[in-house]
Copies of this chain bind each other. A is one copy, B any other.
Amino acid sequence: MTDPTATTPDRRPGGRTARIRAQVLAAVRAELAEGGHEGLTMEGVATRAGVHRATVYRRWRDVGGLLVDVIDAAGEIDWRPPDTGSLRGDLTALNEEIQESLVVRPSFAVALMAASFHSERAARAQSRLWDERYAQCEIVVTRAADRGELPAGRTDARAVLMAATAPVYHHVVLLRAAPDPQLPERAATAAVLAAKAGAFSVRVGG
């Protein structure tokens, strides 16, 4: 109990604190993917992570704390949206990445969505993550506008991204239909055609 890191944790990246967090969050992801949030316990996570239970309780307090931190960690990944040279190519690549994350079994992404139906804190953390991801992806629409792929004037980038990606989530997560290998491109193409036709153009003063 005289471990100095217990009172002065080493918070450098790669330090002991960061290492323990990485071990614990990897365990949370594995437990979530295998058993869903209903099977998530502080004890199960500590055991799988090989970390003292007291440490897990002290730093994450409860299962809600673990869920929030694993969602926050997903937002810390150095992720960049695709850059294929065309709006259709970028949105298709984005949709393929999304579909892949949803259909892999067990799916961490689906387990998180399920968890957010039952934990208000997890739901809020997940909303923040979605917001960040959509904000990061707006560059895809900005680049398309710069290339002259979209009508003159401002296009609502978020609306284009929603139109392109929502059918993939809808199909796999809500309808629970068998994954459709054509859907990522079809949904992307439909959003691009709608955008070119001015569906997401922002009216000046409107």
Contacts and interface: CB of A to CB of B under 8 A. Distances in A.
Given A116-B176, A118-B114, A193-B199, A162 B169 contact: no
Given A38-B118, A190-B199, A194-B197, A163 B174 contact: no
Which 4 A-B pairs rank lowest in CB-CB distance, beginning with the nearest? A166-B170, A114-B117, A190-B199, A166-B166
A76 to B, nearest CB: 20
A interface residue count range (under 10 / 10 to 19 / 20 to 34 / 35 or more): 35 or more
A196 to B, nearest CB: 7
Q: Please tell me how many copies of the chain the complex holds.
A: 2
Contact of A117 (B117, B165, B166): B117
Contact of A113 (B174, B186, B199): B174
A187 interface: yes
A159 interface: yes
Interface in A152-186: 159, 162-163, 165-167, 169-171, 173-177, 186
Nearest to A117: B114
A173 B116 CA distance: 10
A175 B161 CA distance: 13
A163 B190 contact: yes
